Amino acid sequence: MENLKNLLHLPPIWYTFAILSVLTLFGALGTVMSRNPVHSVIYLIVTFFSLSAHYILLNAQFLAAVNIIVYAGAIMVLFLFVIMFLNLRQEAEEAKKDQTIFAAVVTAVILGGILIIFLRRAEREPINTLNYNSQSGMVEVLGKSLYGEYLLPFELVSVLFLVAMAGAVMLGKRESGERHF
């Protein structure tokens, strides 16, 4: 009875965290267990949005925005195009076998056991409220860091992306008379 009283007096952020955690697990399980690839992608989008909400709870707004824009936006649209292009509606014979389900359950149990073991062994450090910076996940702090002490690596990565993009355009360019397979 005492535990129930303590549970009812939790701050509202804990309830938000619990609801988002259930939604994340629902989306992840739906992604893995869905037989229709399009439904699986939609469940993955739900998972990405709920993870972005977790980032907001952790005061990492920039990471949440990037997660929504890059993963839930661009990558999922790419996945949908590939799924529709390949016409993956036919179910594979391997997915119907009981051995696949058994292997998935065994893998999940082993990974869950490893996760529980390492979480119990992890050292928990108390948060020092005197040195805590509440602005650590904000875009302004990240921008000052990127354009301050990490300016050279940031610019080198941008040049690397530019060269990779030019290489992809050159590889994708078709010559006249070239056969299309």
Statement to judge: residues 5 and 84 lie in one domain? yes
Structural domain includes residue 131: no
Domain match, 54 and 84 both: yes
Encoded amino acid at 156, one letter: L
Same domain, 83 and 161: no
pLDDT beyond 70 at 87? no
Question: Tokens 């949005």 belong to which residue?
Answer: 49
Both 21 and 104 in a single domain? no
**pLDDT for 108:** 85
Structure tokens at 163: 């060269």
Write out pLDDT tens, residues 23-39. 999 999 888 888 888 88
Q: Measure the CA–CA gap between 12 and 3, rounded to whole angstroms.
A: 17
List the domain range (segments joined by +) for residue 163.
144-173
Answer yes or no: do 101 and 85 share one domain: no
For residue 136, what is the DSSP state?
Answer: T
CATH number at 10 reads: 1.20.120.1200
Looking at residue 178, its pLDDT comes to 62
pLDDT tens per residue across span 107-163: 889 998 998 998 888 877 777 777 777 777 677 877 888 888 888 888 898 888 888
Could you give the number of structural domains in the chain? Answer: 3
Answer yes or no: are the C-beta atoms of 53 and 22 closer than 8 Å.
Answer: no
Say if 4 falls within a structural domain.
yes
Model pLDDT, residue 176: 63
Size of the chain, expressed as the number of residues it contains: 181
pLDDT tens-digit map of 167-176: 877 776 766 6
